[in-house]
């Protein structure tokens, strides 16, 4: 298995990313993570999705950490400062779930509040359901836990684009998922982990890994996770945005299915696209802190 590691100098001129790097090795793969306010035993685990990395949470991390929480934001394998595998078959829904589970176990994280968006939810929700004792609460935004429903034409087009386009400009893709377009420096920061296309295998394959038929191997464990969530009494907050057509309505489904969503201050964040961390990161962070305080977490 060939592993690529983005040179550190690629990250030398990032905009607004002052965090010290931390690394842990999982099965021979180096995983990078941000770890702020390590003195606290109240963990907020922020999981990014496709095709971003921990840079996505840069506006939110200081707000939550300064409110008394230890904020941990890993880069998924294949993204950010974490190692990249060049073999597309090495990536699967299960592999990503296993890597994050191993990451949590290696750091022995407990009292976790999961903050998740996009694939951060597909992975994080599975991990939370399978490791209930380590999690105290969940905040979900613009994400879902799929069980093989027929995808929309827009999503099928995205799958095809990710696999076939000769130019896969990750920074511009992220900018296109925001209401407020990113600056050139921010676009460059999202492109920084990927010096050339050989580093983009995970980013290209992720859309294909979403279960889009009942026969997908990820459906059975996701259905098992849903059985856990149907009895989940721990605090669960939804903070979806108003301008993300792909995940629209997912918050209502969570609220209908999960008991822990009852009596929580769910919100729709206005003027925010799929990547609400970029459009309204400060607002979302403040809502997370309010949720944690209101639930004495």
With beta carbons less than 8 A apart as the criterion, state whether 101 and 127 touch.
Answer: yes
Residue of 244, 251, 266, 279 marked catalytic: 244
**235 and 295 Cβ atoms separated by less than 8 Å:** yes
Task: Give CA–CA dist 122/144, Å, rounded.
Answer: 6
Identify the active-site residue in 35, 83, 274, 279: 274
Task: Tell me if 76 sits within 8 A of 99, measured CB to CB.
Answer: yes
Q: Which one is catalytic: 75, 118, 251, 279? A: 118
Joined tokens for residue 256: 């209908």
Report the C-alpha gap between 257 and 230 in whole angstroms: 6
Contact by Cβ (8 Å): 100, 77: no
118 catalytically annotated = yes
To the query of whether residue 108 is one of the catalytic residues in this protein, the response is no
Q: Which of 234, 223, 294 is nearest to 265 (CA)?
A: 294
**Would you say 267 and 287 are in contact if contact means Cβ atoms under 8 Å apart?**
yes
Tokens 């008991």 sit on residue:
259
The length of the chain is 297
Q: Which positions are annotated as active-site residues?
A: 118, 244, 274
């Amino acid at each position: 298995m060939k592993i690529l590691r983005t040179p550190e100098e690629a990250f030398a001129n990032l905009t607004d990313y002052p965090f010290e790097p931390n690394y842990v090795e999982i099965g021979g793969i180096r995983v990078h993570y941000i770890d702020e306010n390590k003195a606290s035993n109240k963990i907020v685990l922020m999981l990014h999705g496709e095709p971003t990395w921990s840079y996505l949470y840069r506006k939110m991390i200081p707000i939550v950490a300064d409110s008394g929480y230890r904020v941990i934001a890993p880069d998924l394998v294949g993204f950010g400062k974490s190692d990249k595998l060049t073999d597309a078959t090495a990536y699967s829904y299960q592999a990503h779930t296993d890597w994050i589970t191993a990451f949590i176990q290696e750091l022995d994280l407990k009292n976790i509040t999961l903050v998740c968006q996009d694939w951060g939810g597909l992975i994080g929700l599975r991990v939370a359901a399978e490791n209930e004792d380590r999690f105290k609460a969940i905040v979900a935004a613009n994400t879902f836990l799929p069980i093989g429903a027929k995808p929309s034409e827009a999503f099928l087009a995205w799958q095809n684009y990710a696999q076939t386009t000769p130019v896969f400009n990750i920074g511009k893709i992220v900018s296109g998922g925001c209401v407020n377009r990113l600056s050139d420096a921010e676009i460059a920061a999202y492109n920084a982990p990927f010096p050339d296309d050989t580093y983009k295998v995970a980013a290209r394959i992720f859309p294909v890994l979403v279960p889009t038929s009942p026969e997908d191997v990820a459906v059975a464990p996701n259905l098992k996770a849903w059985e856990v969530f149907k009895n989940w009494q721990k605090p669960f907050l939804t903070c979806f945005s108003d301008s993300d057509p792909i995940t629209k309505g997912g918050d209502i489904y969570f609220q209908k299915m999960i008991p822990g969503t009852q009596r929580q201050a769910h919100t729709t964040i206005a003027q925010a696209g799929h990547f609400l961390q970029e459009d309204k990161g400060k607002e979302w962070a403040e809502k997370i802190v309010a949720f944690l305080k209101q639930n004495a977490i």
